[in-house]
Structure 1
Amino acid sequence: MPESPRRCQLADAAITVLARTGMRGLTHRAVDAEAALPAGSTSNHFRTRRALVIGVVDRLAERDLDDLALTETRPGAAADLMSMWTHTDPDRFRARVEITVEATRDPEIAKILAEGRARIIDFVEQARQGAPPETQGAPALTSSQLVALLAGLQWAEYTTGEKLIAPVLGRLS
């Protein structure tokens, strides 16, 4: 069932709140304020805090899938996409980090994140089909390993500002 525009608005506001204040600051009241909606609006769509957190996870996955759908499957596409996710929408990246930490304590969130990761791995697998094998003595990486490498590079780029994703992947292809 498609999400209502209001529910998406609230989930996007929750992503912003989560990015700015962390898990402790993610409250219905804070999301209402961020969305500039009357008090109680968030709780009408996400009855509990847990429902709100899962709404954030679902919305992050939905936005990722939208980006994947608009991205060509070609060599280098995954690096471009990861770099865009890191630098174009830093709130989304920070919210993802918060959610990833929360997933270490919550199996339901971990499952949703694993499903999203599987979709990204599938995307990378499609993008790699027909690409030349890794060269210069670099070890061949599975798509799962490549996604994990990209996630680490994404974190390093975000925290240091150093451009790492494209140069490292350029050496692997």
Structure 2
Amino acid sequence: MTGRPARVALLADAAIDLLAEGGMRALTHRAVDTRAGVPLGTTSAYLRTRQALIEAVVRRLADLDRADMADRALLTDQPPPGPPPRLAPADLDRLAAGSAEVLDRWLTTGRHRTLARYACLLEAVHRPELRRILEHGTVLREQARALLAAAGAPDPRRQGDQFVACIDGLLFDRLVGAGALSAPVPGSPESREDLRSAVRTLLRAFTGA
């Protein structure tokens, strides 16, 4: 990545750190300049308005999340034509293990990204013009629907949406909810195993496999 895309990614990464540490109140163009180590005025030159800055953050979060999922073969940008192959219980076991690794990553090395995403989502509740922030979850829901259809779920569209909501709730609980106090330490083998078990339980409930 070079040129303007690289510079915008640098600024977005700095903004993500600010959001994670101080919430929306910490996010200013000047603060992003300082955190990114660029001359004052750089962020305003690339991302003139606050909305443009937030949208750049969201695009960056979506790109990084998709890269994490693709790394664990949890996301396919262009699925092959035709109906997906039928998934066996062993396939779902592998999916649960891969999902646990991604979730654990979002609780550790990707923790700032997760906190920043929640900050953006809360901002969108009060600012309707930022509702597109929610759109990056559409791909995840479509993938979940296809996955559950391939696993034999009776209502994959509805259950796919429910599966994504459950996963997001699991992540939220481990990051800022009561689970943060009682769950295994993120980054540990115990954490990944506990997350794997939770995801596999969800898949079993939705598919019966």
> What range describes the TM-score normalised by the shorter chain of this pair?
0.7 to 0.9
The alignment-based identity, stated in percent, is: 35
Q: What's the CA shift for 1:171?
A: 2.2
Amino acid at match of 1:55: A
Partner of 1:111: 132
Query: TM-score scaled to structure 1, two decimals?
Result: 0.83
Compare CA radii of gyration and give the structure with the larger one: 2
Question: Which residue of structure 1 aligns with residue 174 of structure 2?
Answer: 157
**For structure 2, which runs of at least 5 residues remain unmatched after alignment?**
75-90, 184-190, 205-209
- TM-superposed CA distance for 1:132, in Å, is 6.7
Tell me, in whole angstroms, the C-alpha distance in 1 between the residues paired with 2:149 and 2:72. Answer: 15
Which residue of the partner structure matches residue 138 of structure 1?
Answer: none
SS at match of 2:126: coil
1:145 alignment counterpart? 162
CA contact (8 A) 1:154 1:165 kept: no
1:95 alignment partner in structure 2 = 116
Secondary structure in 2 matching 1:142: helix
Closer/same/farther in 2, CA of residues 126 and 69 from structure 1, 3 Å limit? farther
Pairing 1:52-131 to 2, within 5 Å after superposition: 52-73=53-74, 75-76=95-96, 77-113=98-134, 115-131=135-151
User: Which residue identity is paired with 1:60?
Assistant: L
Q: Matches of 2:197 and 2:175 in 1, distance apart?
A: 15
**Aligned structure 1 segments of 4 or more residues deviating by more than 6 angstroms:** none
Q: Distance in 1 between the 2:52 and 2:153 partners?
A: 44
Q: Aligned pair count? A: 165
* Separation (CA, whole Å) in 1 of partners of 2:48 and 2:13: 17
The alignment's C-alpha RMSD in Å is 2.4
